[in-house]
DNA sequence: TATTGTTATACTCTATAACTATA
DNA sequence: TATAGTTATAGAGTATAACAATA
């Protein structure tokens, strides 16, 4: 077919998950282009941001906040450490744990990248009516909670 | 530290992209659990849905609607065909092209899976005020468009 | 026993390049 | 020359299992 009628995704459009998938994929691909000049990816930028905001953070805490597994965080911290953007130092109180701190270089790169990401994010949400923007964020957080508490 | 104060992701929370990532990941993980009993994944379910809704669809059209590359669609159609859920027949008008049709088995499985996905989606969006639900979908589509048209 | 960091492994989704056969 | 389907390959994010060191 394709000759007779127009193609439709009306059935899938009934699902908010489908709209979320499309929106997130497009946003994520575009965000990657924004972060590439800084040598960062979505997850390395996010991790860097959290260490800037929470100096001394432990990797396990970072993984929890990012809602990813500890195992997946290791390579992210490895990469940031190897690039000299943050340091991994032994904890003074718990010899199992590490403390994460940004370096001056990491702070500087983050400041620039954060500006670019803020501008990018503003462009992404610009088409949404201003009074709906906080409601959009609330709705997304509500959906996250619904998904996590869904047992069925 | 982590000993003194609570951990915060306030900076990242300023970005709608961060909320979208968290919400979508949680929803997607939960949707996977919903689809596993049917032997389907998000993309195989989506492809099946579109072939049900658009019989005779060509793979290239399917890839366009799903906003993925043709190359990535091949394995999805392979899987659905090998499981006997859809057929790939040569087009009568264009010997390069194929026409996709669901089998009876595919139709039957889709009906059940679609019901489960509909229920899942309803649970996901249940916490969002009803009058905000269409506005949420509009906002997500707007963000998708903004991301695709973003050139900077 | 439980937790922290770690390694290894695999799965899903995605993107790009290049090929073939047709148009 | 352009398009449809395909193959191959790689990158990014995620999940699980298992381990050593430490609590």
Residues 23-82 of B with CB under 8 A from A: 23-31, 34, 42, 46, 49-50, 52-58, 61, 64-65, 67
Beta bridge partners of A38: none
**pLDDT confidence tier of residue A3, bands split at 50, 70 and 90:** very low
A63-90 tens-digit pLDDT: 999 999 999 999 999 999 999 999 999 9
> Is residue B2 predicted with pLDDT exceeding 90?
no
pLDDT attached to residue B152: 60
Domains with residue ranges and CATH for chain B: 29-145 (1.10.10.10)
Reported in sequence order, the residue ranges of chain A that DSSP labels E, i.e. its strands, are 86-90, 98-102
Instruction: Report, as an integer, the average pLDDT of A93-101.
Output: 97
Q: Is the pLDDT of residue B5 over 80?
A: no
Residue A4 has pLDDT above 60, yes or no: no
Q: What is the mean pLDDT of chain A?
A: 95
The percentage of residues in chain A with a pLDDT greater than 70, rounded to a whole number, is: 97
C-alpha–C-alpha distance, residues B8 and A149, integer Å: 22
Give the pLDDT score at A152. Answer: 59
Give dist(CA A10, CA B126) in Å, integer: 20
Interface test with B, best of A25, A54, A135 (most B CBs within 10 A): A54
Interface test with B, best of A3, A8, A13, A20 (most B CBs within 10 A): A20
Is residue B27 scored above 90 in pLDDT? yes
Contacts B148 to A, Cβ<8 Å:
26, 30
Is A97 near chain B, with CB under 8 Å? no
Which residue pairs, CB below 8 angstroms and at least 24 apart, start in A37-40?
A: A37/A116, A38/A109, A38/A112, A38/A113, A38/A116, A39/A83, A40/A109, A40/A113
Tokens 């929106």 appear where?
A: A23
Binary contact (A1, B49; C-beta < 8 A): no
Closest alpha carbon within chain B to A60: B2
On strand D, nucleotides with any atom < 7 Å from a protein CB are 3-9, 12-18, 21-23
| Cross-chain residue pair A53–B10, CB shorter than 8 Å | yes
């Amino acid at each position: 077919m394709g000759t007779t009628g127009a193609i439709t995704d009306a059935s899938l459009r009934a699902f908010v998950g489908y709209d979320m998938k499309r929106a997130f994929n497009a946003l994520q691909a575009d965000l990657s282009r924004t972060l590439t000049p800084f040598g960062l990816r979505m997850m390395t930028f996010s991790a860097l941001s959290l260490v800037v905001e929470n100096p001394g953070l432990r990797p396990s805490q970072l993984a929890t906040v990012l809602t990813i597994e500890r195992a997946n965080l290791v390579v992210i911290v490895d990469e940031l450490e190897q690039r000299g953007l943050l340091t991994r130092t032994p904890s003074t109180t718990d010899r199992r744990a590490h403390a994460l701190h940004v370096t001056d270089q990491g702070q500087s790169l983050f400041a620039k990248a954060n500006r670019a990401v803020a501008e990018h994010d503003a462009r992404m949400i610009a088409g949404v009516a201003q009074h709906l923007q906080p409601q959009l964020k609330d709705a997304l957080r509500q959906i996250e909670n619904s998904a996590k508490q869904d047992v069925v």
